[in-house]
Structure 1
Amino acid sequence: MTDGALKTLFLPFEDEILPIPGGERWLFLGAEANRDSEGAWRDILSCLQPFRPDFLDLEKAGFNAVPRLESSDVFDGALILIGKHRGRNEAWLAQAFDHVKPGGTIVVSGDKKLGVDSFRKTVETLAPVTDRLSKHHAVAFWLTRPERLDSERLEALKSEPTRLEGRYVTGPGMFSHTAIDKGSALLAAHFEGRIGGHVADFGAGWGYLASELLGHREKMKSLALYEADFEALEAARQNVVAPAEIPVSFHWHDVNREPISDIYDTIVMNPPFHAGRSADPTMGQGFIAVAAKRLKPGGRLLLVANRQMPYEAGLNALFRSVTPLQDDAGYKIIEAKK
């Protein structure tokens, strides 16, 4: 969560420096819903949020949330809450310029530690910043969307998809988008002879493990990908190419909060373990608990984790057998059977 930056984002309106919009339609990029005083904004905001947990929180709070904008969407103004991924922040800025009417106000806020002042300099290559304020260890600044924009500079903000090994499409903000994750590669090396039946990948990202699973499809009946990042899942749709006889399904899903109805023979995972800047082992522990419920008796879980993650107690409590397969380069590979 970025509580300080979120509070600071609305300060220009609360301090009456900027008028609170009325009867207008505003865009909120990188939106979060963890604030009681946003009630006045609910009817006018369209919240762009590709991360499923935050998307669900926005919906629960009564906001109109979308994972992706339509090309025809036009707004009177925009709010941008920047995150830790500069490339995705720049893409959101480009979308704000593309979708806000000329003369509309764009307000940006971010934590100082996330480089909001550096980001302001990027904004100023396209439009002058009107003013700024600083509070809660964050900075907010605002500008007017110009009538004319430097099209080359605007296009430069729209990152071209990254291509890995000439095969995989990825993008900013996705887990390990510039290189194949070392832990995932170690896990994939243990797939031989262990993959069969109805298979699921929990936390599938842009589809590396799922693609590797299809290299061991002799006994596979189906493959399901579950991923919380909408943009990563869209990339996985391009990266995971299966033969017609192997049905593949893609689920934009929060594994720890939304129920999964299907039962699987094999589940693989490289579970997430970061909430913001801090490690949160409960996320991976939740993935393991869900896997235990959705595996049939005799089913197999294959997972990779950083060596320090405390997963063994949960695995031993939930599975009939737990076997370490590898402990190397700071990672551990574990096989667990129901």
Structure 2
Amino acid sequence: MLSAPSQLLERNIDVFKDDGWLIINPADAYFTDQLSHLSVDVLHQYYDIYAESARVIPYTILDSRDILNTSTGIFSQQKINKHHHYFAPFLTLPQHYNNIVIYLPKAKAHYSMLIKMAASLVNGSGSIYVVGENKGGIKSAGKLLNSVGEVEKVDSARHCSLLRCEITHQQPSFDINQWLSYFDININGQAATIASLPGVFSHEALDEGTQLLLEKLPSNLRGNILDFACGAGIIGCILKRQFPHLNISYLDVSALALYSTAHTLAESELTGTVMAANGLHGVDEQFNNIVTNPPFHTGIKTDYSVTKRFIADAARLLPRNGSLHMVANRFLPYPGLLGEVFSHVQTLAQTSRFSVYRAVKE
């Protein structure tokens, strides 16, 4: 089933008359099927929709040094008939587009960055469309869009709105590194500079839960470590600085997060294996320990299916005596959920907001 924003675009399908479209961060993999007769490029900053749209393997392995050296921004690409799908944090391609659609992201800073990138890629006489849900902030999205041209509302339905901005003049080239911000942290005597982009978890600040997790991790971690949902790479970077013998991999669904992680590692003169995946779905690498501040422990009241799948997948990737260390909101029933899969579950630390758990596969 199409997402509500895609249903609104479907309602306005007559807008898509000619070739030369770029669609940024579609909320589902199905709307573009209706544009099969057009030449369309699709930028995916999130691997789950990219993998489904481009029909590629469930995860991709990259080297942090290769991420730093990309000039186009592209991590992975696939052509499906007349559509080019790109998994990338940004695009700096030589061609320009007649029209661009942006699916409104959650973070305002992320949206601002997408506007500037889109404006640099659209023809001088082209338009940028923005579609999003009312509860996601689309009603105020036109104010930021006004910075690059004249804005009008095209349509409203399905609790969503579709805006159009006609670009009034050619915009300057887009440089993703101008949007990178840096902040310093010091945990367990290990100082590090963290790079972060808009749209990445805990942008420009150290999350309280992540700090607690790092402070309470045991010193006997060994072998291959997975920093799951790595964000800006804070957990893995601190562990690698503290225990250089560890072999750490960094996994996230977000290309923005992986780009930030590569720069975080470079700031500490480190390198690492970086993985793009939708959770642990399809991942078949083996790890001695998984360490995580997972992204799905807020806002979930009764449906724990995603959490349960992650816990089961984590156990699948761990050997005997392998461990999962995680921090989560204290009120969530993680001890019980972990206990359904792991034979030994321990609470390592607890504050008024967070709990740190250790689950061992026996």
TM-score w.r.t. the length of structure 1 is 0.85
What is residue 21 of structure 1 aligned with on the other side? 17
Deviations 1:224-277 (A, max 9, x none): 111111111111011125999x972111122342x22222222111112169x6
Whether the aligned pair in 1 keeps the contact of 2:151 and 2:163 (CA below 8 Å) is: yes
Whether the aligned pair in 2 keeps the contact of 1:88 and 1:172 (CA below 8 Å) is: yes
For residues 86 and 214 of structure 1, the distance between their equivalents in structure 2, rounded to whole angstroms, comes to 32
Deviations 1:277-333 (A, max 9, x none): 656533333222122111111112211111133332342232231111112131111
What is residue 238 of structure 1 aligned with on the other side? 263
Q: 1:65 aligns with which of 72, 76, 85?
A: 85
- CA separation of 1:298 and 1:274: change in aligned 2, threshold 3 A: closer
Matches within 5 A, 1:129-140: 129-140=151-162
Whether the aligned pair in 1 keeps the contact of 2:290 and 2:324 (CA below 8 Å) is: yes
Unaligned runs of 5+ in 1: none
* Letter matched to residue 163 of structure 1: Y
Q: 2:235 aligns with which of 194, 205, 209?
A: 209
* Letter matched to residue 66 of structure 1: Y
Percent identity (aligned): 21
- CA separation of 1:142 and 1:161: change in aligned 2, threshold 3 A: same
Between 225-234 and 193-202, the greater mean CA deviation after superposition: 193-202
Whether the aligned pair in 2 keeps the contact of 1:307 and 1:332 (CA below 8 Å) is: yes
What is residue 117 of structure 1 aligned with on the other side? 139
User: How many equivalent residue pairs?
Assistant: 326
- CA separation of 1:252 and 1:73: change in aligned 2, threshold 3 A: farther
SS at match of 1:293: helix
Between 310-319 and 184-193, the greater mean CA deviation after superposition: 310-319
Higher relative contact order (CA 8 A, sep 6+): 2
SS at match of 1:226: strand
Q: Tell whether 2:200 aligns with 1:174.
A: yes
What is residue 309 of structure 1 aligned with on the other side? 332
- CA separation of 1:96 and 1:83: change in aligned 2, threshold 3 A: same
* Letter matched to residue 179 of structure 2: E
For residues 296 and 133 of structure 1, the distance between their equivalents in structure 2, rounded to whole angstroms, comes to 54
Unaligned runs of 5+ in 2: 57-79, 186-192
Whether the aligned pair in 2 keeps the contact of 1:131 and 1:141 (CA below 8 Å) is: yes
Deviations 1:160-179 (A, max 9, x none): 32212271111111111131
SS at match of 2:320: strand
- CA separation of 1:59 and 1:119: change in aligned 2, threshold 3 A: same
Q: 2:347 aligns with which of 324, 332, 337?
A: 324
SS at match of 1:333: strand
1:188: Cα distance to partner? Answer: 0.3
Q: 2:315 aligns with which of 267, 292, 296?
A: 292
* Letter matched to residue 310 of structure 2: F
Whether the aligned pair in 1 keeps the contact of 2:252 and 2:258 (CA below 8 Å) is: yes
Deviations 1:191-218 (A, max 9, x none): 2423211211111111011112113316
Whether the aligned pair in 2 keeps the contact of 1:304 and 1:332 (CA below 8 Å) is: yes
SS at match of 1:297: coil
For residues 209 and 183 of structure 1, the distance between their equivalents in structure 2, rounded to whole angstroms, comes to 11
For residues 321 and 269 of structure 1, the distance between their equivalents in structure 2, rounded to whole angstroms, comes to 18
Whether the aligned pair in 2 keeps the contact of 1:87 and 1:159 (CA below 8 Å) is: no
SS at match of 2:307: helix
- CA separation of 1:91 and 1:36: change in aligned 2, threshold 3 A: closer
- CA separation of 1:318 and 1:156: change in aligned 2, threshold 3 A: closer
For residues 260 and 123 of structure 1, the distance between their equivalents in structure 2, rounded to whole angstroms, comes to 39
Q: Tell whether 2:254 aligns with 1:229.
A: yes
- CA separation of 1:230 and 1:125: change in aligned 2, threshold 3 A: closer
Q: 2:183 aligns with which of 157, 161, 164?
A: 164
SS at match of 1:73: coil
Deviations 1:7-30 (A, max 9, x none): 22343334xxx4x323x1210012
* Letter matched to residue 175 of structure 1: F
For residues 143 and 300 of structure 2, the distance between their equivalents in structure 1, rounded to whole angstroms, comes to 28
Whether the aligned pair in 2 keeps the contact of 1:191 and 1:213 (CA below 8 Å) is: no
TM-score w.r.t. the length of structure 2 is 0.80
For residues 4 and 178 of structure 1, the distance between their equivalents in structure 2, rounded to whole angstroms, comes to 31
* Letter matched to residue 82 of structure 1: L
1:184: Cα distance to partner? Answer: 0.9
* Letter matched to residue 313 of structure 2: V
* Letter matched to residue 199 of structure 2: G
What is residue 188 of structure 2 aligned with on the other side? none
For residues 319 and 108 of structure 2, the distance between their equivalents in structure 1, rounded to whole angstroms, comes to 42
For residues 33 and 268 of structure 2, the distance between their equivalents in structure 1, rounded to whole angstroms, comes to 48
For residues 242 and 118 of structure 1, the distance between their equivalents in structure 2, rounded to whole angstroms, comes to 36
Whether the aligned pair in 2 keeps the contact of 1:47 and 1:66 (CA below 8 Å) is: yes
What is residue 249 of structure 1 aligned with on the other side? 273
Q: 2:123 aligns with which of 76, 101, 123?
A: 101
For residues 46 and 84 of structure 1, the distance between their equivalents in structure 2, rounded to whole angstroms, comes to 22
